[in-house]
């Protein structure tokens, strides 16, 4: 009788194929949710990082205009081309077209695009010498290419840059 009980208990040890498949399915679903959450978080951080870099470039250009570095007014040019990634760069002079760019293009993070300026357009935001006031109040808007999030950087008539 003890021999029969032992064999019956041994037959019930371990996992069935359905239990293993169910556990694996749950792990795959949890992993997918975690991966997508991390991916979206990373995209949103890229958007925020780009906004902070644009604000820093605008504030630096304003400060250079106030101090009349190189005897010039300074500004930032934003470009939204169709064939290459969106970018911006700092320049000195009255405008980007007649001025001198400084440094290389700063390309937006992958998955981040300009809303303002609109596609195929460019935009200059320049600041007057000594006063540091912008030539005109303006804004720059960026968003995730998926449209999931966006942010707007404003330059008011007093030269304050915020987002």
Per-residue burial over 119-141, b = 16 or more CB atoms within 10 Å of its CB, e = otherwise:
eeeebbbbbbbeebbbeeebebb
Q: Per-residue pLDDT tens for 137-154?
A: 999 999 998 888 999 999
Q: What CATH number does the domain located at 18-162 have?
A: 3.55.40.10
Q: Per-residue pLDDT tens for 65-121?
A: 999 988 999 999 999 998 889 999 999 998 898 989 998 899 999 889 999 999 889
- Residues in contact with 162: Cβ distance below 8 Å, sequence separation at least 6, in sequence order: 55, 153, 154, 156
Q: Per-residue pLDDT tens for 6-28?
A: 555 555 677 889 999 999 999 99
């Amino acid at each position: 009788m003890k021999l029969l009980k032992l064999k019956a208990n041994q037959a019930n040890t371990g996992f069935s194929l359905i239990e293993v498949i169910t556990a694996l399915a749950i792990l795959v679903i949890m992993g997918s949710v975690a991966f997508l959450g991390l991916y979206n978080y990373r995209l949103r951080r890229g958007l925020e990082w780009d906004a902070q870099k644009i604000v820093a470039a605008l504030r630096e250009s304003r400060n250079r205009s106030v101090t009349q570095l190189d005897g010039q007014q300074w500004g930032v040019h934003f470009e939204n081309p169709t064939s290459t990634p969106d970018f911006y760069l700092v320049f000195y002079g009255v405008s980007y077209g007649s001025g001198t760019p400084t440094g290389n293009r700063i390309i937006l993070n992958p998955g981040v695009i300009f809303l303002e300026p609109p596609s195929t357009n460019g935009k200059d935001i320049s600041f007057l010498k000594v006063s540091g006031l912008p030539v005109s109040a303006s804004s720059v808007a960026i968003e995730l290419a998926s449209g999931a999030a966006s942010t707007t950087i404003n330059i008011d008539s007093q030269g304050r840059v915020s987002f």
